[in-house]
Amino acid sequence: MPAISPIRAMVFPEISQAPAEASRSGDFRSLIEGAIGKVEQTRQDATKSIESYLAGEGGELHTTILAAQRAELALDLFLQTRNKVAQAYKEIMQMQI
């Protein structure tokens, strides 16, 4: 009986590279624009995958579903990060000097 391999953590290089790129330039705006661009690109990839599956151009259903889920998770992660940044900004603005 073959041994069962352990579960490995999933690594998303496109998401994990964004903070390193922005910290080099030191520009918060470019960090946000890059994150929005990556979320939008993920959404566009999911849309193309869905359209090609529905048109019968090949592709498998599970690949299409994974692309849609990846886009949804990327958007959820971005929105949660945005909410945390907004909350931190509000807390900083309420500090007494």
Going from N- to C-terminal start, the domains of the chain cover 13-93
Dihedral over alpha carbons 89, 80, 42, 56 (to 10 degrees) = -150
Amino acid at site 64: T
DSSP, collapsed to helix, strand or coil, labels residue 2 as coil
**Helices and strands: H and E segment counts in the chain:** 4, 0
Q: How far is CA 23 from CA 45, 55, 63, in A?
A: 27, 42, 33
Greater model confidence, 40 or 7 = 40
Share of the chain above pLDDT 90, in %: 59
What does the mean pLDDT of the chain come to? 84
Instruction: State the pTM of this model.
Output: 0.66
